[in-house]
Structure 1
Amino acid sequence: MTSSCHAQRVLRTLLLGSLGLLFIELLQPVEAPAQSCTLDPLGGEVCLPEEEPKDPDDDDIDDDDDR
């Protein structure tokens, strides 16, 4: 009886420990390429990658849809 109580306690500790590690991993910031930053209305900084302009050659693909 004491071994099953001890086993449950060990499993519960392992579960809580693994959930804690997962939570810490999810809180770490992710690196992303940001080239332009602006201030949002609440005073925070928002950084977004710059959009690349479309090539005029890409329009040739859209012309095929008219057929």
Structure 2
Amino acid sequence: MQAIIKDAQVRKWIDLTNPEVGTSLDYIMSKVAAVTPSLKTSILTTPVAAAENLALCKLYFS
């Protein structure tokens, strides 16, 4: 679990369409009761906020 968390923390963004992300969430779900299937779905399907996109645009296109 520490490896998953540390890997996520150093990334500028996470590709939520990558199947490994879902697998990682499945593993976390098996260890942390607060992470439910509905939370996993919410994490993977919630659109990126405009402010989050703006931050990436400024970082890479300024």
Q: Given the two structures, how large is their TM-score scaled by the length of structure 2? A: 0.30
Greater relative contact order, per chain length (Cα 8 Å cut-off, separation 6+): 2
Name which one, 1 or 2, has greater alpha-carbon Rg.
1
Q: Which structure shows the bigger proportion of residues in strand conformation?
A: 1
Q: Which structure shows the bigger proportion of residues in helix conformation?
A: 2
Q: Given the two structures, how large is their TM-score scaled by the length of structure 1? A: 0.29
